[in-house]
């Protein structure tokens, strides 16, 4: 896939504090407040769509393994520290005192700000039942929100031109795409150049959590960074994926050790 196409849909990072790498994965040094400020800047000033992606330990291994994903992440307008493991890694490797900016929470904060900020929102992804239910629930949680269109994530390829036309006619500022990774990244890469939105955020399975089909960890678990453990207890079949957290922690530890050794030797 051509890098020129990706560059054409990249929004410059503006006043972001900085972009770092965690074991090769790019991550922007933003907390939730900083991410929301950047979203607002993009809505107000963007001349082309900018896209927001999430960084977590699973992506550390999935992204570098795909040349497409690696380039797509590098070209993102914003890569938020979605996983607590990435937040801790940024602290260990760079001394950054950040808090987690979870992708699902960022979507909710954007929707909460939408009534006063005037954001126009389009929601794409999940099944028809989940999509419709999530839009209703967002309207209930955030009175005055302007959701100007929606579409389920099971549309077929011949239906894409009509979807793109629908999104553009809605004059949406922000597009949420919930197709799961890497499908949502592939979709954004292909279709964002044809869209007039200002911001596009990949939200994975967030719509399922909004309607309660998938339950997130209680706030107490989230605050201490144990949402991953809660999910494992609820879904034991995830143990194979969660083993990567141990590998991730070990590799971050050795990266920190190497950086410290290089510092002493200089």
- In the chain, which ranges are E strands? 19-22, 25-28, 50-55, 78-81, 120-125, 146-151, 174-178, 199-202
Residue 43 lies in a domain: yes
Of residues 217 and 46, which shows the higher confidence score?
A: 46
Beta carbons of 238 and 213 less than 8 angstroms apart: no
* Burial letters 22-42, b for 16+ CB under 10 A, else e: bbebbbbbbbbebbbebbebb
pLDDT higher than threshold 90 for residue 101: yes
Q: Residue 90's CB: how many other CB atoms inside 10 A?
A: 22
Using alpha carbons, select from 212, 173, 216, 219 the residue that is nearest to residue 195: 173
Using alpha carbons, select from 67, 30, 4, 9 the residue that is nearest to residue 199: 9
Q: Residue 234's CB: how many other CB atoms inside 10 A?
A: 12
Residue 13 lies in a domain: yes
> Is beta strand 78-81 parallel, antiparallel or unpaired with respect to 25-28?
unpaired
Largest CA distance in the chain: 60
Residue 261 lies in a domain: no
For 93, the domain range is 3-228
At 216, the pLDDT band (50, 70, 90 cuts) reads low
Please give the average per-residue pLDDT across 76-96, as a whole number: 93
Q: Residue 103's CB: how many other CB atoms inside 10 A?
A: 22
Residue 254 lies in a domain: no
At 229, the pLDDT band (50, 70, 90 cuts) reads low
Please give the average per-residue pLDDT across 179-208, as a whole number: 96
Q: What is the pLDDT of residue 15?
A: 42
Count: domains in the chain: 1
Residue 246 lies in a domain: no
The Cα 181–Cα 160 span in angstroms is: 18
DSSP state of 179: S
The Cα 194–Cα 182 span in angstroms is: 20
Residue 257 lies in a domain: no
Residue 105 lies in a domain: yes
Residue 244 lies in a domain: no
**One-character DSSP codes across 132-163:** HHHHHHHHHHSTT-EEEEEE-TT--GGGHHHH
> Is beta strand 50-55 parallel, antiparallel or unpaired with respect to 78-81?
parallel
DSSP state of 126: S
The Cα 264–Cα 80 span in angstroms is: 31
Specify which of 54-58, 163-167, 210-214 reaches the highest per-range mean pLDDT: 163-167
Q: Is the peptide bond before 182 cis (omega within 30 degrees of 0)?
A: yes
Beta carbons of 142 and 112 less than 8 angstroms apart: yes
Of residues 260 and 182, which shows the higher confidence score?
A: 182
The Cα 27–Cα 18 span in angstroms is: 9
3-class DSSP assignment, residue 18: coil
Helix, strand, coil % in the chain, rounded to nearest 5:
55, 15, 30
């Amino acid at each position: 896939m051509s890098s020129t196409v990706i560059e054409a849909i990249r929004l410059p990072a503006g006043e972001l504090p900085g972009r770092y790498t965690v074991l090769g994965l790019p991550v922007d040094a933003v907390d939730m407040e900083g991410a929301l400020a950047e979203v607002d800047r993009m809505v107000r000033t963007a001349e082309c769509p900018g896209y927001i992606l999430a960084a977590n330990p699973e992506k550390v291994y999935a992204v570098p393994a795909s040349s497409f994903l690696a380039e797509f992440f590098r070209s993102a307008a914003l890569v938020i520290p979605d996983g607590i493991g990435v937040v801790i890694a940024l602290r260990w490797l760079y001394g950054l005192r950040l808090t987690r900016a979870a992708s699902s929470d960022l979507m909710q904060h954007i929707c909460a700000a939408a009534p006063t900020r005037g954001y126009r929102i389009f929601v794409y992804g999940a099944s028809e039942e989940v999509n419709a239910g999530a839009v209703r629930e967002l309207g209930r949680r955030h009175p005055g929100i302007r959701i100007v269109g929606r579409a389920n994530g099971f549309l077929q390829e011949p239906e894409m031109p009509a979807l793109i036309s629908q999104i553009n006619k809605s004059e949406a500022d922000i597009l949420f795409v919930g197709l799961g990774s890497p499908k949502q990244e592939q979709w954004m890469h292909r279709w964002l150049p044809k869209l007039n939105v200002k911001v596009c955020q990949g939200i994975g399975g967030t719509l399922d959590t909004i309607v309660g089909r998938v339950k997130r960890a209680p706030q107490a678990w989230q605050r201490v960074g144990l949402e991953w453990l809660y999910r494992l207890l609820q879904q034991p079949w995830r143990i194979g994926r969660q083993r990567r957290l141990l590998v991730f922690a070990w590799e971050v530890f050795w990266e920190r050790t190497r950086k410290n050794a290089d510092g002493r030797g200089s």
